[in-house]
Amino acid sequence: MLFVYALPMSTLVHFSPELRAWIGHNLARGCARSTLVDSMVAQGFESRIADGMVTAFATAIARGAPLPGQSVVLDLDTVVSYVPDPPRLTAGNRIRAADRDVEILMRLQRPCIAVLGNVLDEAECAQLIALGTPRLSASTVVDPMTGTDRAAAHRSSDGMFFGLCENGFIEGLDRRISALMGLPVEHGEGLQLLRYRPGCGSSPHYDFLVPQNDNNRASLARSGQRVSTLVMYLNDVEAGGATEFPEPGLSVTPRRGNAVYFEYANRAGQLDHATLHAGAPVERGEKWVLTKWMRARPFVAAG
């Protein structure tokens, strides 16, 4: 059941507990926002109201905030989709990234996603695994309520971080990746190495930061928002382990030396919720990935 009231400059939308539970449940399990909006429109909802409601719920989930209770206030004149900036990834079928040519295997315009080939060679992948393995520990995330580190419920993996340009080898990779992603080296966080064992993956999540705790607020103040991600695959996975984007319905198979790139923040401060993504569980073998996050400003680590 839905009740809509016109207010000055906005619209108050009351909804039933059943509708609240349906939207929250389906977003939490990784359903694409567009799928939920289309389903609501098919049931007779006005498209702007459906989009505004689903966006309000998705924003609450991304921020770790409580879901809307019984109503939301929407400014239907400003319920607009994310407007991407021109892609930072160079146009064309090939990109010269400092010391090598990277192949564009596939592009999406919205959300901005590209599958890339020849980002790393076999020897580099092996060297990264060898360097990082002794430094692996259980992956953690910042608890949205307390701002402290805890074991990652959405990511079952082991991980470690390389310092930015910490040695000659890592510096060469940081400079190549910077040229590829179209932002200065100083805007990058340190490369993160992750290992997923059989049965392990990551549940649907966003890479942009939301200011739901002191740690994130301080990080955003120091370095600005994350704007783009590059996930590089260091090995071929026997079965499973794909990087999945439910909104566009895209599944990227991990192949050694390949990568998937995506952007999710524009200069106006909008965040692209269509970049919700997950790592499918590894079915056989292991999955090794190397991730780079780029910031809007030079990255300054916590003191």
Over the stretch 232-266, which tens digit does the pLDDT of each residue have?
999 999 999 999 999 899 999 999 999 999 999 98
- Average pLDDT value for residue range 7-34: 82
Query: CA–CA separation, 33 vs 276, rounded Å?
Result: 9
pTM: predicted TM-score of the whole model, two decimal places: 0.75
Task: Give 146-202 as a DSSP string.
Answer: T--EEE-SSB--EEEEPPTT-SHHHHHHHHHHHHHHTS-GGGBPPPEEEEE-TT--E
CB-based contact 162:170 (threshold 8 Å): yes
For the chain, helix (H) and strand (E) counts, in that order, are 6, 20
**Mean residue pLDDT across the chain:** 88
Residue 208 CB partners (closer than 8 Å, separation 6+): 62, 225, 226, 227, 264, 265, 271, 275
Regarding beta strands 287-295 and 226-233, do their DSSP bridges make them parallel or antiparallel, or are they unpaired? antiparallel
Q: What is the pLDDT of residue 164?
A: 97
Architecture of domain 94-295: Sandwich (2.60)
Per domain, the residue ranges of the chain are 2-74, 94-295
Q: Which candidate, 162, 146, 240, places its Cα nearest to that of 194?
A: 162
**pLDDT tens-digit profile of 170-187?**
999 999 999 999 999 999
Q: What percent of the chain has pLDDT over 70?
A: 88
Q: Answer for the pair 55, 78: CB distance below 8 angstroms, yes or no.
A: no
The whole-number pLDDT of residue 195 equals 98
The pLDDT of 68-82, averaged and rounded, is 72
| C-alpha distances in Å from residue 24, one per residue of 19, 56, 279 | 8, 10, 21
Could you report the per-residue pLDDT of 206-241, keeping only the tens digit for each? 899 877 778 988 999 999 999 999 999 999 999 999
pLDDT of residue 5 exceeding 50? no
Residue 143: which pLDDT band, with cuts at 50, 70 and 90? very low
Strands 137-138 and 158-161: antiparallel
